[in-house]
Amino acid sequence: MKMIKVLVVDDSLFMRRLISDMLNSDPEIKVIGTAKDGSEAMEKISKLKPDCVTLDLIMPGRGGLPTLKQIMDEYPTPCVILSAHSKEGADVTMECLEAGAVGFVLKPSGELSLDIRVIKEQLLKEVKAASGVNLEKIKPLIKKKPKRPRRRLIALNKIVVIGASTGGMQTLERILPSLPADFPVPLIIIQHVPSRFFTESLAEHLNKVTELEVKVAEDGETLQPGTVYLAPAGFQMRLKARDREVAVTLTKDKPGALTPSVDMTMESVAKVYRGNAIGIILTGMGRDGTEGMKAIKEVGGKTVVQDESSLIFGMPKAVIDAGCAEAVLPADEMAEAMVKLVEK
């Protein structure tokens, strides 16, 4: 069994020890070094060549984001960000993902989290996933694509629903700018994130790169064409037919759940839109979305998954293995496929 070699970067000695202990508790992971700041991190990376780096955002001198950019430029290495549970932390984390970070974990109680052990399983999961990422897949995510010129589409009674997890935020930033400003149907996105701060930050971020309106979905609102609705973290999002309109319903079905379920949303989309539903699964770990895509396919809707260009091929592969993917496409072809599907 190949050990995953990890470098832990945090300005707090106490946090470095706690994080190292958590990682070393897994037989597949070995912490081969620690660093207290960006400068020391660069020295250690050049000498130790880790498979993954856990990187604190807030550090004296060169902070997490500048350090990450230097790592990706000089010694490209999969990085998992440890972020503060705040709006500011969410915004900077979004910049880190844009700059090439693979994933992130929230410190439960700020920079000095004495209770950090509560996120142990999530940290182990993120580090294992990051260590297996082919760095060649990260390069296209850092590169911006130009917006597609406007084109006239005929509005139809259809909907597009997208599910994503690890790598999804960066992939959405490649897809949405390529959609025309007059995209004629609503677009729902279920992106796994740990808190409402990250849903809001993602909406703000995507609004800057696409001509479509991107917003966090609100309970009871009516879906509008050409609008992108993000399922808020901590809630389950379903659709409900209301007269000739379709409205959003937000509930907390699973107390303590931090991420919305792709399956739940897609299953409700299938019930409301039937054969007019278009389901898409992008990069991510696990199987969430497989049952939802099955429901869409069973009512005559269209199902598309991202190919192995996915940062993590888990969720798309699960849909393919279940026989529920009608098309398997790279991220760069996804926008064009969405346009063709809504025009049919």
Domain boundaries, the chain: 4-141, 145-343
Confidence of residue 138 (pLDDT cuts 50, 70, 90): confident
Give yes or no for a contact between 58 and 11, defined as CB atoms under 8 angstroms apart: yes
Average the pLDDT over each of 5-14, 23-32, 111-120, 259-268 and give the range with the smallest value: 111-120
For 134, counting Cβ atoms within 10 Å of its Cβ (0-12 exposed, 13-18 middle, 19+ buried), the class is: exposed
Looking at 3.40.50.180, 3.40.50.2000, 3.30.43.10, 3.90.180.10, the CATH number of the domain 145-343 comes to 3.40.50.180
Spatial distance between the Cα atoms of 8 and 50, rounded to a whole number of angstroms = 10
What is the identity of the amino acid at 257? A
| Phi and psi at residue 147, to the nearest 5° | -70, 145
Longest dimension (CA), the chain: 65
Spatial distance between the Cα atoms of 252 and 272, rounded to a whole number of angstroms = 21
Catalytic residue numbers, as ranges: 165, 192, 288
Q: What pLDDT does residue 132 have?
A: 86
Regarding predicted confidence, which is higher, 330 or 85?
330
Over range 126-150, report the average pLDDT: 73
Over range 23-28, report the average pLDDT: 95
Q: What pLDDT does residue 109 have?
A: 56
User: Residue 55 pLDDT more than 80?
Assistant: yes
Over range 74-83, report the average pLDDT: 91
Confidence of residue 5 (pLDDT cuts 50, 70, 90): very high
**CATH topology match: 4-141 vs 145-343:** yes
User: Residue 256 pLDDT more than 80?
Assistant: no
* pTM of the entire predicted model: 0.86
Confidence of residue 277 (pLDDT cuts 50, 70, 90): very high
Confidence of residue 150 (pLDDT cuts 50, 70, 90): very low
Give yes or no for a contact between 22 and 126, defined as CB atoms under 8 angstroms apart: no
Q: What pLDDT does residue 246 have?
A: 93
Torsion of CA 176, 337, 235, 318, to 10 degrees: -130
Spatial distance between the Cα atoms of 95 and 287, rounded to a whole number of angstroms = 27
Confidence of residue 42 (pLDDT cuts 50, 70, 90): very high
CATH architecture assigned to 4-141: 3-Layer(aba) Sandwich (3.40)
Confidence of residue 92 (pLDDT cuts 50, 70, 90): confident
Q: What pLDDT does residue 86 have?
A: 60
